[in-house]
Every structure is written in C-alpha cells, then in structure tokens.
Structure 1
C-alpha cells in the first residue's frame, strides 16, 4: 500500500512539474518552419527541459489569424503582415515586433525528364500563372511554340501560404492574383512529389525544399526583365545570387513576429535573443541564406528597445534590400 502511495505521489509530482514548464507557442509559415524548428530544438536542449517550444505549420495567413487572436506567442511569416491582418491585430489589441531572420528564395522547378527548359522569363511565368490564363493557356506551346504541344501540369503554394502571396505579387504584379486551375498545397513536399513525377509539370517552392530534392528536380534560371539588376540575364537561385539581389524578383526576407505581451515573459525574450544570436550558424544549416551580421544586431536592439510595428505598411515590396528595411521606422 505504501509503495502504491509513493508511486501515485511521484506520478502526481511528475505531472505537476511538467504542467509548470512554460510553453512557447509558435505557428505560421511552412517556409520559415525548418528554421524555427531547428532553433526550438537547440533552445530546448540549452534550457535542459525548463522550457517547451511547439512549432506548427498553418501557413503564413493561417498563422496570422491565430496570432491576431492572441492564441500564439510567435508567428513565422514568409511575407510581411498585410493590411487586413494589421486591422485584426489592432482590434484585438495585439501589438508586436517584426523581426527579419533570413533570406529565402522561391525556386521555379521542373522534373529531371524536362529536356526543353533551363530558364524562363518573368513575363512567361506571368502568362502561365495570371488569372487570365485559366482555361486558355493549357499547353506548353501556348507560351512558346518551340515547347511541347502537351498539357502543362501546374503546382504551387496554397492560398494561405506566404510563398503564394509573394510569388503572385512578384510575377503577376498583384498579391493573391493567380489562376485557380492548378494543384495547390501548403505542404511543399506534396509539390515536390507532383513535379518530380511528371515530365510536363512545373511549379514553385521555397529554395530550401529544392535544395533538399536536387536529385529529383531542376531549378530554372530566372530572367528578371528591365527591373532586375542583371536585366535580361538568366540567373539561377543560390546563396550568392540571393545575397546580392541578382536572383530577381523571387528572393525575399522572411520573418518572425513576436507578441509584445508574450515578450514580457522571460522565456520568450530569451528564445528570441537566442534565435537572433544563433541565426548566422543555424540558418545555413537548414539551407537558407543568413542576413548580414548587422541585421541580427539591429534585431536584438529592437527587442531591447521594444520597437513595435511593421516597416511595410500592410503590403509586400519586391527587391527591397535588408539593410534599408532595417533602418525604417516601424509604424503601429
């Protein structure tokens, strides 16, 4: 009887102790997920079980819905907060810090059996993906007569994805403006599989997911046009071309958004500072491009000074340099 009592008390104390471990709740972008997941693992190891971090993937849009309802502490975002999300946060009294944490690029991908395409222009991508293309631009030869007279199979991000928002803005010229007759998924691995298994498929995914699947896929060099630093030169996505801005217009900074209320908790402030202190090492380990060291120092300064708001004013911008971005004053 005494042994049973001791076991019961031990179990109760164990459960009680577990319940007292603070939990940092994070959700949002599938693009940013690998970075934050790696950070969470390293942080929890460093904390030796004193803090638990949960990281979900509901897409940038889905994450902001939770963030602006006060359901999570940190939001992973592969594009800036938009006007409607700003309004939702304002109504709920959610104030936040906007912190760039890495560069990402969107890779336009084809399968290994695609023998006719090594590069593609932004203007051809627009013809392929704009809303007017739906039901009209169906075959490869509809874009270029030299390409096969075979139906294109299109794969891309779902509507809740920040990658979808950025790709449509960069390529079509308006965020969320896209044909609807394509295979959409928030799961980038689904897109990888679809494109890899079809000779006539084309899609777009975060560069990190392409890097993991180079044996199955080819990335197309992008011809950015008149606004590109290299104008009509075809540029492949890489760490160097993303850092220099020559992979245009499909490279961008990605972010975490931190609730001001959450940041008052010691464990969350510790996690955010840990994130910024270790980003230069961990970001490249998960196949993303780190920001300049100065950007992480500015990020820490913003955390220390509790610099609230966004520098984007509720919309994305194409081709903005990270150094210029960090100098801007946030607006509530």
Structure 2
C-alpha cells in the first residue's frame, strides 16, 4: 500500500511538472509572437533610393544588411547619377537620394516648390581616381594643369604625345562619368575651373563599371571615377598619382583622409525626405545606416567620416 501511494505521489509530481513546463513554453511562445508583431522585426514596406553611382556601393551594402534583418522591407537603389537622382528626389518620387556633391540652389528651389523638406547627411570621403591601363608604362604622374589640358572644352589633346614629349604618338582614348554625375561635376569644377565644362568627345557612362571595362581593355585609355571602383578593380587598371602643387600623391585611404590627395578628395552624401522619415521603416533604415556606416564604408573602400559626424547625423534624424 505504501509503495502504491508513493508511486501515485511521484506520478502527480511528474504531471504537475509537465503542466508547468508546458505553461512556460506557451508564455515564451506568446512573448516571441508579440515581439515579432510589435517589435522592430515586424517592420515592412518599401524604400525608394536613387542617385550617385559613387555612393551606390555604400547604400547598397547597407540596404542588403538591413534587409537581412528586416526581410519584409524592400529597398530599391538606383544609379541614375547625382543629378538624375535629385530630379526624382525633388519631385517627391524617392525617399532618399545618393549624392557625390551637395545639392544645388536650383535643385533646392525645386524641392521647396514641391514642398519637399530634406536632411543632408554626409556619409564618407571619396577620392576621384584617375586611371590608366595596366600596360601603360609611361605615365607615372599627372599634374592638375595636365589634366586641365586633357579635359578642358576645346582641348587640342588627341595623342599622348600632345601631353608630354616622349610619350607615345598614339591616340588617347578617354573615359569618364556622364553629365548627370556628381563626380563629373566635381572633377570639372576643380580641374577645369567650372562645373560641367568639359570636352565632350569621350566615352561617357553613369555606370562606373563600364568605365573600368573601357580602360582595362585599351592600352591607350585614360579615365576617372570613384576610389572604391578603383580598389575593386585594381587588378585591371592602375591609379595615377596627381600633383596638385605639392608633388605627386597617389589616392589611398590615408591620403584621402588627411587631405593630401588634392584637389580630388571630397565628401559624399545621402539626402533624406523628412516626410519619408515619418515612416518607421525609413527612419530605422537611416538610423541603421549611420550606426553601421563606419564599418561598411571602410569595407567597401571609402574613408569613413569621424564618429562625431555620424552621431550628429543621428541627432538630426531623431
């Protein structure tokens, strides 16, 4: 009898334990369910971004990381160039715009006309990189004056020998960004003295990968584009040291960061529509961008801003 009671008591305790465990699991499941429905993991919606091909790799990398965490958010990143991106942004067609130059007065006026309020957020430093073919064994450096001689409107440079005596008497084939590119505008301003003033007889593309392919496949080619695209393709093209008046300096993370790679180092930006920031998926994405930019910017091949700049950007968002 005692043995039977002992067994009954043990069975009761086991049943009680099983019920308690089941209750704990149910509560845990409810808690997890509530987090997925009301927490950050429940973010959904779409974000439209367009603009600079230079800033594109940074924003695309951030977008991929963000969508890994929030798979119900769809982010589209276009590459119509800084000018093309601002056309869409100031018309209210996009939530964010990648830009390799600050917004122009006329673009800001268009935004105001369409009641678009925005925030400018610097995200990295870039160094416009002048490149030649790997088989080019005569160019060791170029001065700013020589670049102007090559790229200015009405340039008489058609052969390499027109730049320096002793260089090949071969046609120079030029590659560069299209006229909607912020890189094109910045380069022409600091080299030719006026934005968008350039010779037009060159192969132009808003897609920097097209420029890389052009230069890498032509021994007598010369082109320019963002530093990250050079780093990614340094096995295909060679960077040229630029003499801005203090001796030739090659583009590197260090020279871009300390300002010695001049005058081709510059900041790049994203612009965010304030109205779009009212949507939780957009605000969370921009916060995520600023919090992870230092690491991702460097991974991609750009120079990160000081931490204080990203913190200031976060303050603007909040």
Deviations along 1:44-98, whole A, 9 cap, x unmatched?
A: 1122x23221111111111100001100000011111112211211111111000
Partners in 1 of 2:191 and 2:317 — Cα distance?
34
For structure 1, the residue ranges without an aligned partner over 5 or more in a row are: 1-19, 226-230, 305-332
- Cα shift at 1:183: 0.5
Partners in 1 of 2:233 and 2:277 — Cα distance?
37
Matched with 1:239 is 253
Larger Rg: 2
Partners in 2 of 1:221 and 1:164 — Cα distance?
19
- Which one of 217, 239, 248 corresponds to residue 262 of structure 2? 248
User: Is 1:222 the equivalent of 2:242?
Assistant: yes
Matched with 1:63 is 85
Structure 1's consecutive aligned runs of 4 or more residues displaced over 6 angstroms after TM superposition are: none
Matched with 2:22 is none
- Which one of 151, 155, 164 corresponds to residue 129 of structure 1? 151
* TM-score in terms of structure 1 length: 0.81
- Which one of 50, 54, 63 corresponds to residue 31 of structure 1? 54
Deviations along 1:86-143, whole A, 9 cap, x unmatched?
A: 121111111100000011111100001111001100110000000020xx22111112
User: Is 1:84 the equivalent of 2:106?
Assistant: yes
SS in 2 for 1:100: strand
Root-mean-square deviation (CA, aligned residues, Å) is 1.1
Matched with 1:52 is 74
Partners in 2 of 1:193 and 1:292 — Cα distance?
33
Q: Give 1:138-157 correspondences, 5 Å limit.
A: 138-157=158-177
SS in 2 for 1:249: coil
User: Is 1:300 the equivalent of 2:314?
Assistant: yes
User: Is 1:259 the equivalent of 2:273?
Assistant: yes
Q: Report if the CA contact (8 A) 2:44-2:281 is conserved.
A: no
Matched with 2:128 is 106
Q: Give 1:169-180 correspondences, 5 Å limit.
A: 169-180=189-200
- Cα shift at 1:146: 2.3
* TM-score in terms of structure 2 length: 0.85
Deviations along 1:194-227, whole A, 9 cap, x unmatched?
A: 11111111000111111111111110000012xx
For structure 2, the residue ranges without an aligned partner over 5 or more in a row are: 1-42
